[in-house]
Amino acid sequence: MQKKIFLLVMASLLLFSCSSSVDNTWSSNVNIDTNNEETNSDLTLTQPDRKMDLYWKITWIEWNEITILESDTLKDPTFNMTSEEKKKYMQSLDETARTELKEQINSSTLWEKKVIVPVWIPIIKKTATWPDSPSIEASIADFKVWQYVSVWMDTTIEDREVAEFVKIAFTQ
């Protein structure tokens, strides 16, 4: 009797271990160079050419749905600037003006927006704070509450908010 139970347990373990092996080799094939040109035969991490649809902080994460505090971009004079223009503009300000601008931007929150992030969409994250820092592949598991994200929405879906591409800002 004990021998039958032992054989049954061993057979179950063997069957379970064979069925749970998954090939995740596609993720190791991603090559992102410092020029932000992503190449991969199975996965493309190219940032959309258009302006992002949402940029602000994540306030809630539940499975593949995130809630983002959306801000009034009209209160941010640097929103439409390139990273070089923004850098020059911020350097031209004195410390007081820079602090006032940051307070103005931080007080521009209007509402929360729930966004579905499909697991198959490209997600990247910055590796450092400087503008030309490289990006690496990321996943939903890399999202954190109060983290800044840039979201490009899928314009083909009209009845709900679904992301097409997400870029996570650098956080330590």
The better pLDDT of the pair 98, 20 is held by 98
Among 154, 84, 88, 149, CA closest to 121: 154
Domains of the chain, each with CATH number or no CATH: 43-72+108-168 (2.40.50)
Q: Is the pLDDT of residue 45 over 60?
A: yes
Strand-pairing partners, residue 148, are 57
| This prediction's pTM | 0.62
% of the chain with per-residue pLDDT over 90 = 35
**Average per-residue pLDDT for the chain:** 77
Q: Is the pLDDT of residue 101 over 70?
A: yes
Res. 28 pLDDT band, cuts 50 70 90: very low
- 136 CB-near residues (< 8 Å, 6+ apart): 32, 124, 125, 127
Q: Is the pLDDT of residue 116 over 80?
A: yes
